Amino acid sequence: MRIKDTAPAAAPRRGRPRSPEVRERILAATEELLSEGGFQAVTVEAVAARAGVAKTSLYRWWPNRAAVALDCVSARMTPIADEAGMGGFRERFRRQLKATIRLLNSPQGQAILALIGAKQTDPALAQSYSEQIARPRRAQTRMLLQQATRAGEIAAGTDPDVFLDAIYGPLYYRKVVSGEPVTDEFIDRIVDAAFIAFGAKPGAE
């Protein structure tokens, strides 16, 4: 639950920054710490020191370090969504996957991957990540798949989870496990294979 920010207890040398400025400094500091040292580096004390704010400034928005880390990653993942609505659905899925890998390859992506890694051994963090980030984003992608089905590009009755795992699984496997490069050509092949396997067959109802 967020609470409106008031001025920090100790005013910075250049006056009191507006609340959005303080919040962004905290998120930027969190991103740096996640990238440098993983989730274990993200403590309230470390974030406050890096951001140059009092610990009370963090608690105005977030109850603990997990909450600020999740908010940081959620904000950095926002650009992945394909809002253009242009082209066929095969091309739209290609754009989504390419946007995803560009983000994961960016400095912000290091923070995202650090949190994904940390949740493997932290059940509470994993549950929060699922509720706040993974499920809402997957729901958005399921909607795109439903549109592709209605448009006749994907066969009716296709299991959405199987389809989404088929296109996103190889990307995350290469990025997180094997270390093999994820190129635009590789993504094109993944999406093409999925649309061949799950595409509507001629004459099918």
CATH superfamily of 19-74: Homeodomain-like (1.10.10.60)
Amino acid 11: pLDDT: 43
Residues 6+ away with beta carbon under 8 Å from 122: 39, 66
Domain 78-198: give its CATH architecture.
Orthogonal Bundle (1.10)
Helix, strand or coil, per DSSP, at residue 166: helix
Residues of the chain with pLDDT under 50: 1-15, 17
Q: pLDDT value at position 75?
A: 82
110: its two tokens: 């290091």
Fold match between domain 19-74 and domain 78-198: no
Torsion-angle region of residue 157: left (phi > 0), alpha (psi -120 to 50) or beta?
left
Domain segments of the chain: what residues?
Answer: 19-74, 78-198
In tens, the pLDDT along 35-88 reads 888 888 999 999 999 999 999 989 988 999 999 999 988 887 755 555 556 678
